Amino acid sequence: MLMQSKPTGSTRRFRLQLLSVLTASALTGCSLAPDLPATPAAVPTQYAAVPLGTQHTAVPTWQTFFQDPRLQQLLTQALAQNQDLRLAVLNVDRVRSLYQITDSNRYPALDLSASQSRQRLPADLSQNGGQNGSASIQQQASVTVGSSWELDLFGKVRNQSEQAQQQLFASEAAQRAATVSLLSEVAGSWYSYASNLQLLTLAQHSAASYQQSLQLTERKVALGAASELTLSQQQSLLATSQADIARYQRLLQRDLNALQLLLGQPQADLSALLPTAQDHLTLPELAAGSPSLLLTQRPDIQQAEHQLKAANANIGVARAAFFPSISLTANAGTASNELSGLFAGGSGSWSFVPNISLPIFNMGRTQANLQLAETDRTIALETYQQKILQAFRDVSDQLADKAGYQAQLSALQTLEQSSFRSKQLSQARFDAGADSYLQLLDAERSWYSARQQLTSARLSYQQAQLGLYKALGGGWQSTTAAAVTQ
């Protein structure tokens, strides 16, 4: 007869350790999602990271950056009424609901059900009928509390929840990106309206002046005191300014249409909120040496990062499909053939149904799902890296535009002043008879062109400032590098 040895102390400790591991696995599950890969990116030296804990100059909020109260009111209306932004908000609400649905699978479901039934059986089917084989009436009442839960041994449910949560974060980042784009578009159209209005006013003043000169020249030609060439030159200047008037009126209407669309009010009267030709509009200067850490606050980069994390969690879901899934279903309650006996002694009932499912053969579908998840993560990684590089290029481009337009503005201001001085001197020489009228017309044409270029360059500089503000991710509050990296 074989003798059974008693378990030693080390054996008992091993069994206890094994039991604790299995218990922890049953409660928390392991995750088969891989670690996120490194995302190296070529960072320009002017945006090199600074030491942790260093206080950064924050990009100002839009309420601080856009200081004109009329523009602030337009931006407030756009944030409340723009259709594209409303769709972005609704999409966040939708994804949030999907996340809550998915995350609920991590916890046991608890249901309460109550029922009562009455059934009449004919005599030949009744087992409890009388001696004469009469029909019987059967009734039953029950109250049951049931629960079902899938043991997340391999992290499938947890990774599904993680994926849904990252998709929620990505949708929230997309909403912020839509907000930044909306603010930039409204401000851009508003500043474009101001510039085109100044150009229209300039063209109208020039046309009025040319009209008076043309009338005077026509009288001189009739008297033989001026040549037909001078008259033709005057007509050309007037026609040019009239063509400019028509062009700027068209551009003004397009700017107004854009503002009405962005505000979600196609027929709105915005006259009280529009700039005037006498306004001298400026924007606060942004720091040219903003560190690269600021670029991580761009909503589109945040969106790509969360999409990468969601794709990474999906790999864990696909890997868990190779392993068995275990679900537990249990219920307990009371049942009786009379309502009065539902909670009497001996009426209790219960059931416990564990279920295990193990994939064996499905024509490679499980393996293909894993390959698809890995490819999706590779695509998300490439997209994330591309967003980072694009962000650096956007800032570099806007800084180059800003510096270039600033130098151009300085040169055009000198040109406008010198053109005005040339026009004054030419007028004086013409009045003294030292120059011909053609020279005076040429000086006036040069001055008109210099003022046009200066006004257009101001708008280009303002657009570059708006572009830099958008490239830096819009306005966000001051923070420390250490807080951001956590």
SS3 125: coil
* 183, amino acid identity: L
**So what's the pLDDT on residue 292?**
59
Q: Do 296 and 484 touch, CB atoms closer than 8 A?
A: yes
pLDDT (average), residues 121-130: 65
Q: What is the pTM of this model?
A: 0.81
Q: Of residues 33 and 186, which shows the higher confidence score?
A: 186
**So what's the pLDDT on residue 45?**
55
Query: Would you place residue 98 in the very low, low, confident or very high pLDDT band (cuts 50, 70, 90)?
Result: very high
SS3 27: helix
pLDDT tens digits, residue range 209-227? 889 888 888 888 888 877 8
**So what's the pLDDT on residue 128?**
58
Name the nearest CA neighbour of 427 among 455, 446, 411, 413. 446
Q: What angle do CA 348, 350, 352 make, to 5 degrees?
A: 170
Alpha-carbon distance 315 to 379, whole Å? 13
Across 253-257, 420-424, 476-480, least confident range: 476-480
Ramachandran category for residue 473: left, alpha or beta (phi over 0 → left; psi -120 to 50 → alpha)? left
Q: Which domains does the chain have, with CATH numbers?
A: 33-110+153-188+258-324+363-485 (1.20.1600.10)
Name the nearest CA neighbour of 303 among 440, 175, 125, 155. 175
Q: Of residues 91 and 35, which shows the higher confidence score?
A: 91
SS3 72: helix
pLDDT tens digits, residue range 303-331? 999 999 999 999 999 999 898 888 889 88
pLDDT (average), residues 63-79: 93
Across 25-34, 78-87, 246-255, least confident range: 25-34
Checking if the pLDDT of 481 tops 70, the result is no
pLDDT tens digits, residue range 254-285? 999 999 999 988 888 898 999 999 988 989 88
Q: Do 270 and 190 touch, CB atoms closer than 8 A?
A: no
pLDDT tens digits, residue range 38-52? 765 555 555 544 443
Query: Would you place residue 483 in the very low, low, confident or very high pLDDT band (cuts 50, 70, 90)?
Result: very low
